[in-house]
Amino acid sequence: MTTATEVRKPVHKSSPGAARHPRRPGRIRRVSLPYLLLLPALVLELLVHLVPMVIGIVMSFKELTQFYIRDWGSAPWSGLDNYSMSVDFNAPVGEALLHSFLVTVGFTLLSVALCWLIGTAAAICMQDTFRGRGLLRALFLVPYALPVYAAVITWVFMFQHDNGLVNHVLHDQLHLTDKPSFWLIGDNSFYALLTVSVWKGWPFAFLIVMAGLQNIPKELYEAAALDGAGMWQQIRRITLPSLRPVNQVLVLVLFLWTFNDFNTPYVLFGRSAPEAADLISVHIYQASFVTWNFGTGSAMSVLLLLFLLVVTGTYLLLTSRGRRAADV
Amino acid sequence: MRTIRAAAVGAVTLSLALAATACGGGSSTGGGSDNSPKTLTYWASNQGASIAVDKKVLQPELDKFEKRTGIKVKLEVVPWSDLLNRILTATTSGQGPDVLNIGNTWSASLQATGALLPWDAKNFAKIGGKDRFVDSALGSTGAEGKDPAAVPLYSMAYALYYNKQIFADAGISKPPATWDELVADGKKISAKGKSVLGAEGSNVAENIHHVFVFAKQHGADFFTADGKPDFTNDNVVAAVKQYVDLMAKDKVIPTGNAEYAQNQSVSDFAKGKQAMLLWQSASSNLKSQGMSEDAYGIAPVPVQSGTPGTGAQVNSMVAGINLAVFKNTDNLDGATKFVKFMTSDAEQKILNTAYSSIPPVKAAQSDAAFTAPANAVLKDTLATSAAALPQVASESQFETTVGTAVKDLFADAAAGRPVTTDSVKAALQKAQQQMPAK
């Protein structure tokens, strides 16, 4: 805390030697420069991330209904009312939120597991060189590269009851069902959503695992082959353990993306999703935008944020501890 | 040294600029002003077959307005799927258009936010007085006992559109006047391999419009006189069941329609696949889809028995679009002038003709353009047998919750699950529980 005295020291006009033997004010300037240059990024980070988050948290303690949204500073504080309403699982609002939460958990687990399984399997199959490998790799990445809206709206057309491709194949051509099924309403909507989500998500898993595979030394496989290990054993004993750090990040990222996914269910089902596919992101959107109760919507968002923080923290703690143990 | 200083100054300036622009929004939370008298922003709802059609209809009129007053109107046509969200966002931020179209059923809900300029006697005087407008249209401009939140712009009503050829082939001589007749005609039409009646089962707003009318025909209302939700009374349950039964029991609505939400039923009708359609002011829409005006007839929506009228004989909602002024406008005078222009007799004739709607302005309504048979049915319905949707603050929540309940019931019917009085009641019970407590 000597800056104050330093600043008061007389400032000499800089002479040619000043640069080599900087006087103190110059040093302050030099020390502060990196921070000044960081300032725009910091301000942006505050504006884009932290301020909206804090505002959201503040909103969750207010009774922000249609009567107050015009001047939401005047909305009365409601204490923990929004929260107690959201977690009162015996009342309709809490019950619906819990149902939506459970649907989302089930959906996310299935989707992440399938994305990982398909992505890893495909990456391992693409490991050996063969003709057309580049083409296949590019083809596999197409769903990931397509804009979400364009891709999902195409699925909507395919899932249509009367003219959709899915019913045409399953019912008209393969005769697997007695009558055409509904995919966008009712219970089947869960499977429709899962299909689209996996279709959209597995190329990312494929890409990451493929990158991870490049780092596994060929010698390991050669040595294993000499020792008489078959393909399955090679995958189990070499590939999967070597991919561990990659998988750790991949699964977490897939989990967070899938759990929070808004675009896919919104484009598939519109603003009121069928109960079987009532994902929490759309549910919260509906709680705030459609019923105009932004306080409750914010409280639900904060709860979701807390849940994801806990899951992420626990996951990182467990996996990093596991890795440390493995390293020893 | 100089470049370093320049970089530092640049960094600080950039940060300040960022902070300033971010905080700049939402500053104008006061009332209206006349700070920018030369421009107006106008959000129009999508009335024509497409947004491009709307621009073509509206732009010449806006040019006319500019010529007369010197005020330039910036037009944006907002699709229905976005309009309410856009209005809510504008309300929250205080940054919105000067003048905007709203669905007339939203009037009371938006009125409660306080975002729209109330049309008291003084404001009405500026546009020629309240009694220029038809009463039924004024009934959908806000809660009773409060100054209207908007003025009527276009009026519409539901009618039964029927395909003349399919009717002739099935040996039906006149359109059904009661639901029983419609179901009986449906059997003849199905026998010819055509589908009978279209519906938009996944369109929440359409569902509401229909069950509202059915409730009226059962002598019931969704809200009590003092504005409390009353979704589970026996008559409301019977009304909702009767509508869903058109698919579940009577089989006149094809099960595939349960997932319709993008006006596919209008296309089905225009393509001649389906015999009947319940729609509001469909003529221009059908024309744009290539159906000639001679190919279909227009009749009043069926009732339980007898002829359409008031009370239990109601057969349509008062559908329509209202024009509102955003309270935060910075050109209050210009906005009022624009409303006066849009509701003038001459403009009303031009616009309502283009959109095949009925003018809510009395003087314009008597024009020859609105006495053609197609419009006569709509005009008659509006005048004698249409009722306004509940003008309560929680109307938009009602549309969402009950509309979704009906959507789920249609999904049940489509999947072949039974739709019973109990299941309808349970769905409505759930909808009622989701309504705001206050």
Phi, psi of B303 (to 5 degrees): -120, 180
Write out pLDDT tens, residues B174-200.
999 999 999 999 999 999 999 999 999
- The answer to whether B339 touches B323, Cβ cutoff 8 Å, is yes
pLDDT of res. A2? 41
Longest Cα–Cα distance of chain B, Å, equals 95
Query: How far apart are alpha carbons A108 and A100 in whole angstroms?
Result: 12
Phi, psi of B110 (to 5 degrees): -70, -30
pLDDT of res. A207? 94
Asked if A54 is an interface residue toward chain B (Cβ–Cβ < 8 A), one would say no
Q: How far is residue A227 CA from its own chain's centroid?
A: 41
Write out pLDDT tens, residues A38-76.
888 899 888 888 999 999 999 899 888 888 888 877 888
pLDDT of res. A64? 84
Write out pLDDT tens, residues B145-179.
899 999 999 999 999 999 999 999 999 999 999 99
Does residue A27 or residue A155 have the better pLDDT?
A155
Q: Which residue of B has its CA nearest to A285?
A: B85
Average pLDDT over residues B330-339: 94
- The β-bridge relationship of strands B296-299 and B158-163 is antiparallel
Q: Which residues pair with A77 in a beta bridge?
A: A62
Asked if A10 is an interface residue toward chain B (Cβ–Cβ < 8 A), one would say no
Write out pLDDT tens, residues B361-383.
999 988 888 887 778 899 999 98
pLDDT range class, residue A30, cuts 50, 70, 90: confident
pLDDT of res. B161? 96
- For residue B38, the 8-state DSSP code is T
Could you say which of B112, B201, B410 has the minimum Cβ distance to residue A67?
B112
Query: How far apart are alpha carbons A143 and B407 in whole angstroms?
Result: 31
Output the CA angle B202-B208-B211, nearest 5 degrees. Answer: 110
In B255-284, the residues whose Cβ lies within 8 Å of chain A are 255-256, 258-259, 261
Average pLDDT over residues B276-286: 90
User: Among A87, A20, A75, which Cα is nearest to A302's?
Assistant: A87
CB contacts of B396 in chain A (<8 Å) are 290, 292
Average pLDDT over residues B279-306: 91
Write out pLDDT tens, residues B254-268.
999 999 988 889 999
C-alpha radius of gyration, chain B, whole number: 24
* Three-state secondary-structure class, residue B310: coil
Q: What is the mean pLDDT of chain B?
A: 90
Q: Which residue of B has its CA nearest to A180?
A: B256
Asked if B434 is an interface residue toward chain A (Cβ–Cβ < 8 A), one would say yes
Longest Cα–Cα distance of chain A, Å, equals 93
- Domains of chain A, residue spans: 98-281
Residue B426 has pLDDT above 80, yes or no: yes
Could you say which of A72, A185, A275 has the minimum Cβ distance to residue B414?
A185
pLDDT of res. A3? 43
pLDDT range class, residue A1, cuts 50, 70, 90: very low
Tokens linked to B375: 């419009």
Share of chain B above pLDDT 90, in %: 69
Does residue A282 or residue B28 have the better pLDDT?
A282
Handedness of CA B235, B238, B244, B250 (dihedral sign): negative
Asked if B114 is an interface residue toward chain A (Cβ–Cβ < 8 A), one would say yes
pLDDT range class, residue B269, cuts 50, 70, 90: very high
Does residue A33 or residue B291 have the better pLDDT?
B291
pLDDT range class, residue A23, cuts 50, 70, 90: low
Write out pLDDT tens, residues B65-108.
999 999 999 999 998 888 988 998 899 888 889 999 999 999 99
Among B13, B116, B259, the strongest candidate for a mutation testing the A interface, having the largest count of A CBs within 10 A, is B259
CATH assignment, A98-281: 1.10.3720.10
Average pLDDT over residues B239-245: 97
